[in-house]
Amino acid sequence: MVFPKAGKGVKELNRSMVNMLNATYQTRSAVSRLWYVAPTCPLFLKRGVTKKLANNARGYTLVPNKRCRANRVISNHTIKALASGAAATAAASAAAEAAALRCEINPESQKCPMSVSISKSAAMYAEAAYVAYLQEAFHNSVQLKKAFPKHKKVTQRCAQAGIDVLNERIAMATSFVPASIMARVPAPAKKAAAAAAAAAPEA
């Protein structure tokens, strides 16, 4: 559905809503066009295996193959494994809810689990999210290294701390409950008063 900009006939109370729908529509369309041409972008392509071709009497020279293939960050096997695990989790959750409601169902087969097909666009979206996650985690690690200039390179503990910070930020931004809850326990007043009374004669 197309959402145009707010024209002269749109009321002032509805103008902001119409313009917001238009902005999200244009952004979604631009992202779709961007990822549609991404397979042909030189950033995601690399040269194939070189071939040896005869060059008159000078022997053989290496000539690059004209075919290019996508420079992927995650392999197809890894993406299919992640999709299969997500499908298994969703199937187990659905089966548990059906069992709680006393429905007669057939759960997912252990011998032949679901094999979810993933399009190229979905795989690129997954790679983009994965790369953005790693970049943000490494940025946090670099900032921690600069704050404590003890090592010249990012160490393993510094990288783990950067990942922990990023995971906590994601959890706080997406969860319905806070990441940590501080329990307010009152101090034992009776024990403190008894300890103070016992220490007074000794002083």
User: Looking at residue 45, what DSSP letter applies?
Assistant: E
Rg (CA), the chain: 30
Look up the pTM and report it.
Answer: 0.52
Dump pLDDT digits (tens) for 65-122. 555 666 678 888 888 888 888 888 888 898 899 989 999 888 888 888 888 888 777 8
**Which regions of the chain does DSSP assign to beta strands (E)?**
45-47, 51-54, 60-63, 68-70
Q: Is the pLDDT of residue 59 over 70?
A: no
